[in-house]
Amino acid sequence: MSIVIEQPVEARLVAAAPRMPSIPATLHYDRRDPFAVRMTFPAPATLENVEVCWTFSRELLSAGLQHPEGHGDVRVRPYGYDRTVLEFHAPEGTAVVHVRSGELRSFLKATGELVPVGLEHLQLDLDHDLAELMRDAC
């Protein structure tokens, strides 16, 4: 069984530079990091002309489909019947994109089949991670 899910989505850029009406983006989920999702934007869509990847919680994405969520660098809220707004805040500026809610629901369904919500902790190897931290601390 695969441990990574990748799903391309079409993001409609609302506010950011350079101006691009629609950009391809990719959603990623890795069961080795079961609480997180990543959204990657290609280089032409960024100010620095380099690929940019945002990491945020799966729970934030899921809750943001229903009502406004987030207070930090990533915020998610529903917009109309079939759109979801994702805001990405950085020192360089803010990017606001619309994504079809159906695409996000499909992605979240696939992640839930890989790692059911509420069972993420079973994917973690805390003993190994703690040993790595302690090894580096000496």
The chain-wide mean pLDDT, for the chain, equals: 84
Q: What pLDDT is stored for residue 64 in this prediction?
A: 97
3-state secondary structure the chain: CCCEEEEEEEEEEEECCCCCCEEEEEEEEECCCCCEEEEEECHHHCCCCCCEEEEEEHHHHHHHCCCCECCCCEEEEEECCCEEEEEEEECCEEEEEEEEHHHHHHHHHHHHHHCCCCCHHHHCCHHHHHHHHHHHHC
**Structure token digits, residue 11:** 């993001």
Q: What is the pLDDT of residues 82-134, one digit of tens each?
A: 999 999 998 878 889 999 999 999 999 999 897 777 656 666 665 566 566 67
Distance CA 136, CA 45 (A): 37
Residue 15 has pLDDT above 60, yes or no: no
